[in-house]
Structures are given as C-alpha cells and as structure tokens.
C-alpha cells in the first residue's frame, strides 16, 4: 500500500499545442492540414500548367516523366488539376462549414438562451436532420442546376442542424455556470452576454466539431461531384476528377486513384487532427 501522503496538486496543464505535438499522428496531420491549405491557396502560382489546357499528343500519360503526376483522358496535366481541384474542394467545404456553421451556431445559441424558442428551433432542427445530406444535395441540384453553388447550398443546410445541436448543448452547459448568472443579475444585455461570455466558452467544442465535420463535408461534396451534380466539366474538383477517370480505371488508374487518394489523405488529416484536438481540450474524453 503506497502512502497517500504525496502532495495532491493538480498537474500543470500543458498548452493545447504541446499536447497535440506530443502525439505523432496529430503532429503529422496538423502539418498535412496546413500543407493542403497552403497548396490550395497558392495553386495558381504553384501549378506548372493551365489545368484546362489539353495536350492531345499526350493523353493518359502515367506519372513520371514530363508530367509529374501524368495526364488525364484529355491530356491535361494532373498535377495542375490536382492543385486547382484541391482548391475547389477545400473552398466548397470551407464555405459550407462557414455558412452552415454560422447559421447553426446562432440557432443553437438562441435555442439555449431563449427557452421559449427552444422547442420550435429544435423541431426545425429535427426536420432538417430528416433529410440525409446527399439527398438534399440532389434536390438542390435539381432545382438550381448542378454546380459548385448547389453543393455549397446543400452542404451548408446539411451542416446547420448539427452545428445547432452542438452549439445548443454546449451553451446550455455554459449558461448553467455561476458567473453567467452573476452577469445576468448585473443586468448585462443579451447580445453582450452571448458575444462576450457565451461564445468564447463554447468555442472549443464547436471548433473541435467543425474540424471533424470538415472531413465529412469534403466527402459529401466530392461524392456529389462524383455523381455529376457538383463541379461541372471542365472545372477541376477532386471528386469530379475521380469520376471522370472511372472510364480508364483499367488502363490509366492514376487518373482516378490520385484524386481519390488526395481526398482520403486530406480527410484523414482533418479527422485525426479533430480527434486529437478533442482529446487535448477535454481529458475526460480521452480513453
């Protein structure tokens, strides 16, 4: 029996970043996430060729040689198309998350803060959750025509209810805290309360969820493009490129496989990062 006379002090909590970096997987994924964002942002400067330029003398070239990642079915440089494609894919995801997230978080806060609105808003959320995201994507594409806009609208709407739920449950926890009561007793206005006290305390779980959600949004967006309802030819987008390369799967697999692999790596990086963020921010969840 060890004596329990050792000092009982709460261990000093290391910073989130340091916790993250201790985990090799998380460190690598952080690097990958930053790398993919950089590649996407600087694609126009990094791409060696015009992603739309067809070289009919060099169709379906394998990787290596003049074109580092080979060429696709119309003789376009895969490397350039990958960079621009990554750009479109990530932009679609980021926009959807930003728009859907903002609206959703606002809804969630309102539901938590104004108890009278709670039932109505959550019923609305339930209804929105009743539509599987991909079918909503199909419907929007039917009405507005296929394209990146349709995908962004669909994914934003699909993200709203999930963000609303997490914002609401987090806000409910925070609103139960004493100092919020105190602030309210002091007569602090609603808007100020939400902005100054509620939001910052809810930030961490929402951010974690957003990171995890980003991966899903990218998968959904590329799936919609794969079905032909997202980015339209000749625009480069990873899911659309994977779909176009299907025809030549047995002859030039790199045309499909490289975009698929890119989607996989990016989503994996965001997922691992999100997991590690969640573990780092709330040790209770770590198992």
Partner 1 sequence: MLRHAVQRLMMAVPVMFGVLLVGFLLMQVVPTDPAVVRAGPNASAEIIGQIRSDLGLDQPLPVQFGLYLWRLLQGDLGVSIINNVPVSQELGATIGPTLELMFASLIWSIPLGIAMGTIAAYLRGSWLDRLVMAFSVAGVSVPVFFLGLVLIWFVGFQWQLLPFTGRAGPLWTIEGLRAVALPAITLGGVFVGPIARMTRTAVLDVLGADHVRTARAKGLPEHLVVLRHALRNAMVPVVTLIGLQIGFLLGGAVVTEQVFSWPGVGRLAVGAITSSDFPMAQGTIIVLSMGFIVVNLIVDLLYGVLDPRVRTA
Partner 2 sequence: MPTGFLKRALLGVATLAGLAATLPAAAQTTRNTAIFLREIDADRYDLHRSTARGAGEVVTLMTDTLVSMDWDGRTIRPGLAERWEISPDGKTYTFHLRRDVTFCDGKPMTAADVVYSINRWISPETRSPVAWRAGSVKEVRARDDYTVEYELNAPFSELLSQLTLFFAGIIDRVTVERLGANFGSQGFNGTGPYCWASWTPRSELLLTRHPTYRWGPPIFENRGPAHVERILWRVVPEPTARLAALQTGQADVTQYVPTVAIDSVRRVPTVTLLTQPNYFWDYYLGFKIDKPVVSDRALRRAVHQAVDRTALVRAVWFGHAEPALNIVNPNTLDYDAHSDTLVPRFDMAAAQRTLEEAGWRMGPDGVRVKDGVRASFLTYGINTLENQRQGEIIQQALRRVGIEMRIQLFDATVAWGRMATQEFDALFLSYPYFSAGDALSLYWHSRARPTPNRMNWNDPETDAWLDEARSATDPAVRARALANVQRRLAEEAPWLTTARENLYVGHSNRVSGLRAHGLYGIGIYKALDMRIVR
Q: Which residues bind partner 2 (CB under 8 A)?
A: 52-54, 56-57, 59, 73-75, 233-234, 244, 246-251
Please tell me whether residue 226 binds partner 1 under the rule CB under 8 A. yes
Whether 86 and 39 have beta carbons less than 8 Å apart is answered as yes
- Give the position of tokens 């990218």: 218
Please tell me whether residue 198 binds partner 1 under the rule CB under 8 A. no
Contact partner, 188, from partner 2, partner 1, none, Cβ < 5-8 Å per class: none
Which tokens belong to 39? 């590649």
Contact partner, 182, from partner 2, partner 1, none, Cβ < 5-8 Å per class: none
DSSP 245: G
- The closest of 84, 87, 79, 74 to 48, measured between CA atoms, is 79
C-beta closer to partner 1: residue 76 or 165: 165
Contact partner, 185, from partner 2, partner 1, none, Cβ < 5-8 Å per class: none
Counting residues that bind partner 1 (by CB under 8 A) gives 44
Whether 249 and 187 have beta carbons less than 8 Å apart is answered as no
- The closest of 133, 157, 149, 46 to 91, measured between CA atoms, is 149
Minimum CB distance to partner 1, residue 195 (Å) = 31
What's the rounded Cα separation, in Å, for the pair 151 and 92?
7
Minimum CB distance to partner 2, residue 61 (Å) = 12
Cis peptide before 234 (omega within 30 of 0): yes
Half-sphere exposure for 135 (CA within 13 Å, toward CB)? 5
Return the residue of 132, 189, 200, 234 that touches partner 1, per CB under 8 A.
132
Minimum CB distance to partner 2, residue 258 (Å) = 17
Contact partner, 262, from partner 2, partner 1, none, Cβ < 5-8 Å per class: none
Q: Which residues contact 226 (CB under 8 A, 6 or more apart)?
A: 239, 240, 242, 243
Query: Which residues would be at the binding site for partner 1 (CB under 8 A)?
Result: 123-124, 126-127, 129-135, 138-139, 141-143, 215, 219-220, 222-223, 226-229, 239, 242-243, 246, 249-250, 253, 256-257, 260-261, 263-264, 267-268, 271-272, 275, 287
């Amino acid at each position: 029996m060890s004596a329990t006379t050792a000092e009982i002090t709460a261990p000093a909590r290391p910073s989130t970043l340091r916790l993250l970096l201790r985990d090799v997987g998380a460190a690598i994924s952080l690097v990958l996430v930053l790398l993919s964002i950089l590649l996407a942002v600087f694609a126009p400067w990094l791409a060696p060729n015009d992603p739309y330029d067809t070289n009919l003398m060099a169709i379906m070239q394998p990787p290596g040689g003049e074109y580092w990642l080979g060429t696709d079915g119309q003789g376009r440089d895969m490397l350039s198309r990958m960079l621009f494609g990554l750009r479109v894919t990530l932009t679609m995801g980021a926009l959807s998350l930003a728009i859907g997230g903002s609206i959703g978080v606002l809804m969630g806060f309102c539901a938590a803060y104004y108890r009278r609105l709670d039932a109505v808003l959550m019923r609305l959320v339930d209804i929105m959750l009743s539509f599987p995201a991909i079918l909503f994507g199909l419907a929007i594409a039917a009405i507005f025509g296929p394209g990146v806009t349709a995908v962004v609208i669909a994914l934003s709407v699909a993200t709203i209810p999930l963000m609303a739920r997490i914002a609401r449950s987090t806000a409910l926890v925070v609103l139960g805290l004493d100092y919020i009561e105190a602030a309210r007793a002091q007569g602090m206005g609603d808007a100020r309360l939400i902005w100054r006290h509620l939001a910052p305390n809810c930030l961490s779980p929402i951010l974690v969820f957003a990171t995890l959600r980003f991966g899903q949004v990218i998968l959904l967006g590329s799936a919609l493009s794969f079905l032909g309802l997202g980015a339209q030819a000749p625009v480069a987008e990873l899911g659309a490129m994977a779909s176009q390369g299907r025809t030549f799967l047995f002859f030039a697999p790199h045309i499909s496989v490289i975009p698929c692999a890119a989607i996989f790596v990016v989503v994996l990086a965001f997922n691992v990062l999100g997991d590690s963020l969640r573990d780092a921010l709330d040790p209770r969840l770590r198992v």
